[in-house]
Structure 1
Amino acid sequence: GAPWAGAAAPGAQLPCCGLRGFILLDGETFEVKGNWEKGSNVPALGYDFWYQPRHNVLMSTELGIPKVLANGLDPADLKTGSYGRHINVWDWTTHVFTQSIDLGEDSIPLEIRFLHNPDAAEGYVGCALSSAIHRFYKTGNGNWAAEKVVQVPSKKVNGWLFPEMPGLITDILISLDDKFLYFSNWFHGDIRQYDISNTRKPRLVGQVFLGGKIPRDGPIVVVEDQELNCQPEPFVIKGKRVQGGPQMIQLSLDGKRLYVSTSLYSGWDKQFYPDLVKEGSVMLQIDVDTVKGGLKVNKNFLVDFGSEPHGPVLAHEIRYPGGDCSSDIWI
């Protein structure tokens, strides 16, 4: 599951998403208090969550059955209902599951984010396998709905697990001023920045490639691409070729520095990026144009986890002490 989000007042109790529901933790001691959800009618799967007390709602997403996904992605499992496809809606006050929003077969919704404005009844969820961003929102009758607002086209390829390669959106975040949406494509190897001044029509304003499965000197040949004219160059920084692809991301509070790590999950790392497992992951910094939009790699910043004691290490989450763009929730 995902780590708990948001700062808590002394004595508060915090939900932590699990397979079917939520573990309730004491906000000071982190002692397990029991289950957060009430009733027996709960979704079969869980992963990330975000809540908005002003609208009395918590939203959760679905990854998949742990024993199925633990050792990698098997195409046969996609037709057995082993992976998730829903946003699940919960009543924040009563802890009762109230609604399910279907995002489509094999979508695998992962990270979910409300806008930071506590009055805003909308946000975004990134779907890994379908490589789509959906905007969720509160309707006039008080229910919740979703609409697809970004679609990353799959690339037709030779020499890979599937004949088409999705971007595999593994992380998303929204800047604290609610101006930009960022997300990573772990397979394609790029990070994207969208202007969301119009939340229903995100506009691509920045993009950088940081590895991925399709560099031009690799074994995979892209035979049809709706976005690129040629396969990207291998990504090298400070003389090191970066293995893996951009994965977890975190933005500085002023919105000017975007940090990225390259490991997803060890079972999937081993399957798709075996050299990443051998060499360890890295953390990179992307400089952000917060006025017009735009992304540029900081070539002077590299944290190489391959040389860690008892390594190499596969670093994953990135967090600021005291709160950041993917933990702070205002009530």
Structure 2
Amino acid sequence: MGLSIFVFFRSSRIYVVDTAKIPRAPSLHKVVQPTDILQKTGLAYPHTSHCLGSGDIMVSCLGDKEGNATGNGFLLLDSDFNVKGRWEKPGHSPLFGYDFWYQPRHNTMISSSWGAPAAFSKGFNLQHVSDGLYGRHLYVYSWPDGELKQTLDLGNAGLLPLETRFLHDPSKDTGFVGSALSSNMVRFFKTTDGAWSHEVAISVTPLKVRNWILPEMPGLISDFLISLDDRYLYFVNWFHGDVRQYNIEDPSKPVLTGQVWVGGLLQKGSDVVSVSEEGAESQFSVPVIKGNRLRGGPQMIQLSLDGKRLYVTNSLFSVWDQQFYGPDFVKKGSHMLQIDVNTEQGGLTINPNFFVDFGTEPEGPALAHEMRYPGGDCTSDIWI
């Protein structure tokens, strides 16, 4: 029996689904109730899950039951999905939680920091960043014993660090994290003295705009991934609307090799316009796919195992979806696109024949978020 974990952090439930019968009839295997998690760990708002070599499952949690970030940490489930407890040592919890990735050969796990659920669950407020309700740190733990060894302060270049990925090659001591609000890809790496450091590897320039809440619009890097051969890095700008491909054969010097626009706040027909230094207004051309104008912006991505098909959904978080893209987006639901990848020279092309409309689902309209392959994929597989 193949099992997948579906995590819903708004309800703090963890759903375990039998995927052996996918695609036709997946069935519910077990529900890990929030009361059980709270009683044994004090944790709530589960987010990212990874399987461990021990057979346990580890899940990052974003806060306590009231949505305070002070209650976050890492939940451990056994192979039968019973709550075992917390992974990190007492007193070694991060200030904020979100994503994590471990690299066993370097005895290291690194986690990122979104913010307090009590803040982001009500929509984004820039003042909350100044108030300290959002993160800007990476947390470096010893693996597998859960001791917090370092806290890397990314500063203003790393506001709201979200997805965290090591290179897939388990011998490599480098990886990346996407900082959403700063719109930078930050590379982290081990130094000669065995400590960990970081640097900005890619910057997305904010655009001067009119008819928006701020005079400048960040790209808002909400997701990224690394191809299984560690050759290419892909990321999305949820506000600007573009998907990018970079060659990272030299991880310290990424090279842009592909870029396409699949939505965003600046697409033609939008009220928001980009303004040049000379005052000229412009917007990006976004194609119509199978008669559908693309809604929202690119948000989560997943790559086929051969690296040739990049799939894109467009819902970040329903409250944020409505705040930035309006109630019509939520009412119509989201969609999934396919981008064809040139894996030899690099390059991205939108597939004009692929469009999955979640607005027409029987229980819809639905807001599609993360994608997973039942047998493992670029954002779930970790090698020992």
Q: Would you call these one fold, judging by a TM-score over 0.5?
A: yes
**2:204 equivalent in structure 1:** 152
CA distance in 2, matches of 1:232, 1:31: 49
Aligned residue identity for 1:245: G
Corresponding residue to 2:61 among 14, 18, 21: 18
Q: Do 2:48 and 2:98's aligned partners in 1 also have CA atoms closer than 8 Å?
A: no
Which stretch of structure 1 is more off in the superposition, 74-83 or 246-255? 74-83
- Name the residue aligned to 1:187: 239
TM-score when normalising by structure 1:
0.95
- Secondary structure at 1:67 match in 2: helix
CA distance in 1, matches of 2:174, 2:151: 16
Task: Assess if the C-alpha contact under 8 Å between 1:155 and 1:225 holds in 2.
Answer: no
Select the residue among 349, 364, 368 that pairs with 1:296. Answer: 349
Aligned pairs (5 A) from 1:1-331: 1-6=46-51, 8=52, 12-19=55-62, 20-26=72-78, 28-105=79-156, 107-224=159-276, 230-274=282-326, 275-331=328-384
Aligned residue pairs total: 327
For structure 1, the residue ranges without an aligned partner over 5 or more in a row are none
CA distance in 1, matches of 2:50, 2:324: 29
Contact 2:113 2:138 in 1 (8 A): yes
Matched to 1:56, the amino acid is N
Residue 102 (structure 1) shift:
1.0
The root-mean-square deviation of aligned C-alpha atoms, in Å, is 1.6
Counting aligned pairs with the same residue, the percent is 54
For the 8 Å contact 1:188–1:214, the answer to whether it is kept is yes
Residues 275 and 281 in structure 2, CA contact (< 8 A), matched pair in contact too: no
Structure 1 runs of 4+ with >2 Å offset: none
Residue segments in structure 2 that go unaligned for 5+ positions in a row: 1-45, 63-71
Q: What one-letter code is carried by the residue in structure 2 that aligns with 1:316?
A: H
Q: Deviations over 1:159-205 (max 9, x none)?
A: 11111100000001000000000001000000000000111010000
Q: Are the equivalent residues in 1 in contact too, given 2:273–2:281 (CA < 8 A)?
A: no
Counterpart code for 1:308: E
Change (3 A) 1:229 1:149: farther
| CA pair 69-303 structure 1, distance change in 2 beyond 3 A | same
Once the two structures are overlaid, the 10-residue window that deviates more, 317-326 or 73-82, is 73-82
RCO comparison, higher one (Cα < 8 Å, 6+): 1
Q: Secondary structure at the match of 2:263?
A: coil
Q: Deviations over 1:287-321 (max 9, x none)?
A: 00000000000111111000111210001010001
1:33 CA drift (Å)? 1.1
Aligned partner of 1:285: which letter?
Q
